[in-house]
Chains A and B, each alone.
Chain A
Amino acid sequence: AQKVTQAQTEISVVEKEDVTLDCVYETRDTTYYLFWYKQPPSGELVFLIRRNSFDEQNEISGRYSWNFQKSTSSFNFTITASQVVDSAVYFCALRPWSSASKIIFGSGTRLSIRP
């Protein structure tokens, strides 16, 4: 099976707290890409990161960081010092090499940051 599981449907935290969004994927491919997208209430998809399966280095971009663990098939996303503007739905996604560029999206995590 090729799928992405985001077990957390909704998360609500108070501003300035750190929050981690979980993502677990399944694929039979040894080569694949993983993504995170943000979807604010306006609806557009905002690209956050793309990581290929051969690059397990963790990445940090400002308040955002990603932890890729092939051993557990996870690609978790952490926001430190959260802000109200971070409120959105976040999608983790998988693009297996054999998929002819098709992207498989997780069900999304709705993140609410309370002031």
Chain B
Amino acid sequence: GAVVSQHPSWVICKSGTSVKIECRSLDFQATTMFWYRQFPKQSLMLMATSNEGSKATYEQGVEKDKFLINHASLTLSTLTVTSAHPEDSSFYICSATKRGDNQPQHFGDGTRLSIL
């Protein structure tokens, strides 16, 4: 089955650091990738949708200059949390899908980000 790999699984860093999270589709070409954020005991909230080769579309309330998304190839999207602060601590999950209306989303295992 389709596999999405997310790296790193967890990261702890100091406030002010920028952190990059990678999302890779291992056995299929992902024309669209999605980034979600999940705070403790809450649901997954979509942050942005990224299509290969074009700029990401951000959901309302998500700062695009804070959360930089790059989707330069059909198998890789990256989310960079710039100048991270403790309030950015969260669980970040990506998903990937192929071209087509009926294609399922395949989720990565998530990245637990803790900013000290």
Which A residues are within 8 Å of any B CB, using their own CB?
37, 42-45, 47, 50, 91, 97, 100-108, 110
Contact = CB atoms under 8 A, between A and B. Distances in A.
Contact of B103 (A42, A101, A102, A104): A101
B105 interface: yes
Interface string B73-102: 000000000000000000101010100010
B27 to A, nearest CB: 16
Interface residues of B, number: 22
Nearest to A42: B109
Contacts of A107: 42-43
Contacts of A110: 41
B44 A105 contact: yes
Nearest to B41: A110
B13 interface: no
A91 B43 contact: yes
A110 B41 CA distance: 9
Q: Which 3 A-B pairs have the closest CB atoms?
A: A44-B109, A45-B107, A105-B44
Given A91-B44, A101-B34, A101-B105, 10 more contacts: A37-B107, A42-B109, A43-B91, A44-B108, A44-B110, A47-B104, A101-B101, A102-B46, A105-B43, A107-B42
A102 B109 contact: no
Contact of B34 (A43, A91, A102): A102
Given A50-B104, A97-B101, A103-B105, A45 B93 contact: yes
24 contacts: A37-B107, A42-B109, A43-B109, A43-B112, A44-B107, A44-B109, A44-B110, A45-B93, A45-B107, A45-B110, A47-B104, A47-B107, A91-B44, A100-B49, A101-B32, A101-B49, A101-B97, A101-B103, A102-B49, A103-B95, A105-B43, A105-B45, A108-B42, A108-B43
